[in-house]
């Protein structure tokens, strides 16, 4: 199986701000725009509204979670 590459959405910055900052920004933005599983209706519709606030598009359920990902279970580099 081929290794899946992370989309490089920080390419818009060109060579500015340094590679480490661009990489970290990229990881955060991908996590932020991802859809997560809603703890109430179990649909993958949980979306980011603002820092620490997440809402489900299906049932309107709103939770406070991590700043850029709703559940801080996975390890962050």
Contact footprint for Zn ion (CB under 5 A): 38, 40-41, 56, 58-59, 61
Min dist CB 17 to Zn ion, Å, is: 36
| 10 versus 38: smaller Cβ distance to Zn ion | 38
| 27 versus 63: smaller Cβ distance to Zn ion | 63
Min dist CB 11 to Zn ion, Å, is: 33
SS3 per-residue string spanning 49-62 = EECCEEEECCCCCE
Min dist CB 49 to Zn ion, Å, is: 14
Is residue 46 exposed (0-12), middle (13-18) or buried (19+ Cβ within 10 Å)? buried
């Amino acid at each position: 199986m081929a290794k899946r590459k992370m989309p490089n959405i920080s390419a818009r910055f060109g060579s500015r701000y340094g590679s480490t900052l661009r990489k970290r920004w990229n990881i955060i933005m991908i996590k932020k725009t991802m859809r997560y599983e809603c703890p109430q209706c179990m649909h993958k519709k949980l979306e980011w509204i603002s820092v620490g606030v997440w809402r489900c598009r299906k049932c309107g359920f709103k939770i406070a979670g991590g700043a850029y990902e709703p559940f801080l279970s996975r390890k962050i580099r």
